[in-house]
Amino acid sequence: MNCAKCGAEISEAAKFCEKCGFPTAGKKPTHNKALIWIIAIVSTLFVFIIILGIVAALVIPNLVTATQKAKHKAAMVDIHVISQAIESYLVDNGTVPAQDGAYEINSDFYDALSPSYVINLPIDDQWGNNILVYCGTACDGRYGITGSGMDDFIVVSLGRDGIMEDWEFDGNAPESGLFVLTGMGDFDKDIVIWNGSWIRATRDDY
């Protein structure tokens, strides 16, 4: 390198020019370009992760809720289909088919309704839980219902959690069992038809 004042050649390590005594900058520091790139990339990824987390916090809950709403609505459709099949059977036979709880393909209850009254009789609800059907006197004690006869029937989805609710039907306020989906806990509520009428379901779909 050369002196900035007199132009004399000096070594890179020299602090002063040997000819004129002018101070030099000495050897310029060498920057680690790889380290700079790593820091830049890490910083960019950190910002990206923060943004992604914010977006996920906003989008995922809405996506989960939408999925559960779709399952809830589809479960209501399945329950209604079974209810209509039982009603049609009742009209033709004067009584409902015997059933007390869950059923399987080729069971007496299944064969009584399918394929004569419904081609594909749902067995499980949209959450993979057994659909429950109570016919005749098997309805007694279910959701507070008593005095059941041979033309009574209840069709039930236990909701997302698959656990039967501790809830009872109030004949003096038949719509008291209807509800609005306002939180994830509402998807755990049972979906129930009694003799063709909803007694436990979402109010919007009633």
> Which own/partner contact pairs does 13-20 have at CB distance under 8 Å and 24+ positions apart?
none
Helix ranges, 94-197 (H): 108-113
Each residue's pLDDT tens digit, 73-100: 999 999 999 999 999 999 999 999 999 9
In the chain, % of residues over pLDDT 70: 79
Each residue's pLDDT tens digit, 3-25: 666 766 666 666 666 666 656 65
In the chain, % of residues over pLDDT 90: 64
The answer for residues whose C-beta is within 8 angstroms of residue 152's C-beta and 6 or more apart is: 96, 135, 136, 139, 145, 194, 195
* CA-closest candidate to residue 125, choices 161, 77, 75, 72: 75
Q: Which has the higher per-residue pLDDT, 5 or 134?
A: 134
State yes or no: pLDDT of 188 exceeds 60. Answer: yes
State yes or no: pLDDT of 110 exceeds 60. Answer: yes
Q: With residue 197 as reference, give the H or E element that holds it.
A: strand 197-202
Overall pTM > 0.85: no
* CA-closest candidate to residue 124, choices 99, 158, 98: 158
Rounded to a whole number of angstroms, the CA Rg of the chain reads 37
- Please tell me the predicted confidence (pLDDT) of residue 131: 98
* CA-closest candidate to residue 69, choices 190, 160, 192, 197: 160
- Please tell me the predicted confidence (pLDDT) of residue 46: 82
For 76, the token pair is 């209501």
